[in-house]
Amino acid sequence: MTSTQQHIIHVKTFSPNIQKRMGGIVIQLNSHINPTSFFSTSHNSISKHSLKSTNPPTHLCFTRINKIRANVETLNATPAAEDENPAVDFAFVHSVLLPDGTPDVHYRTANGGQKLRDIMLDHDIELYGPYARPLLNCAGGGTCGTCLVEVVQGKELLGARTEKEKEKLKRRPKNWRLACQATVGKADSRGLVVIQQLPEWKAHEWTYGKEIPEGQTVETI
């Protein structure tokens, strides 16, 4: 039995969950592992750091990752510079949980108007998994169907499914896309897009709801 198989068996042993609130919608990550910490990131930071190690919250939240451009001289100035470079923020959730059972989330920022595939590859986000070798994928042609992603949040920023997607994704959930076919917004787009990487291989499930369970609180990522 491989280490991955052992991990998946361990995943199914437990039943707690992690929830994320995005844009007023609660997005629940059923990881089936008892989380021991949760993560926060600044706008420009790629790395994640643990905020707590005991009694972790059961609800996490992505908020809009705002650009903060302030220094001692400009703290009281009008924040006009923020509008000069519109960009889209991304949270990429890996298919494999971290050793402590929490989601492995990577944060990036990119200009709109690009294919999701290009954004992921340019920012070192795993896309193809076991199909990463050149001969195992079509390099963005839309014919192999190996660049699958699940759009957890921000689907309104992505263009409609192309004809190639309609053909390849007939039996897939509506929020699954081919990264090589999905264009993210326009050059002046802003917003947050949450992407589940390698949805076929994930060890957890996302569910959606409108209410936070009674007695629970929301913590912000």
pLDDT band (50, 70, 90) for residue 205? confident
**The pLDDT value given to residue 101:** 83
Cα dihedral 176, 203, 21, 125 in deg (nearest 10): -60
In the predicted structure, residue 6 carries a pLDDT above the cut 70: no
In the structure encoding, which two tokens stand for residue 31, read together? Answer: 């990881």
**The pLDDT value given to residue 64:** 43
DSSP string spanning 46-67? ---EES-SSS--SEEE------
- Arithmetic mean of pLDDT over the chain: 70
**The pLDDT value given to residue 102:** 83
**The pLDDT value given to residue 167:** 96
Burial class (CB in 10 A: 0-12, 13-18, 19+), 197: buried
